[in-house]
Amino acid sequence: MNQTKLLLAALAAVATLTLAARADLPPASTKTGVTYATDIAPIFKASCVKCHSGDHPKARLHMDTLAGVLKGTKEGSIVKAGDSANSFIVKCITHTTEEQDSWMPPLHNKAGIKTLTADEIGLIRAWIDQGAK
């Protein structure tokens, strides 16, 4: 019985931490009609494409095309269309993944790329929530 109570307490703690992490995300932009070509590609070009394009993109992730972003990495999809809060890309760009190796851009990267702003993250979230088109 004590093990069951301990397990339930641990699961409740994890759920609480997960909800708290989501509450820390910048809100999705209120802009409607967000598209990859118009709104998202310029952000990715400035902050992601240097490492995630070409013949040997990091994590086998091409962020220079919509198809590449939607295909994802060698590990799988990074975009969950309609659900930005649970999309891996949002967790990476907000540095809310447990694995710091997944934080994008990395904090101390050789290219000197700065972390995305709350407005940029908000646009990416809106794009995903609106279907990632």
Range of the domain at 80: 2-129
Mean pLDDT of all residues belonging to the chain: 86
- Number of domains present in the structure of the chain: 1
Non-local CB neighbours of 76 within 8 Å, separated by 6+ positions: none
Share of the chain above pLDDT 70, in %: 83
Rounded distance, CA 46 to CA 114, Å? 10
Is the model's pLDDT at 12 over the cut of 50?
A: no
Is the model's pLDDT at 17 over the cut of 80?
A: no
Q: Which residue has the tokens 């220079």?
A: 64
Is the model's pLDDT at 19 over the cut of 50?
A: no
What pLDDT is recorded for position 72?
95
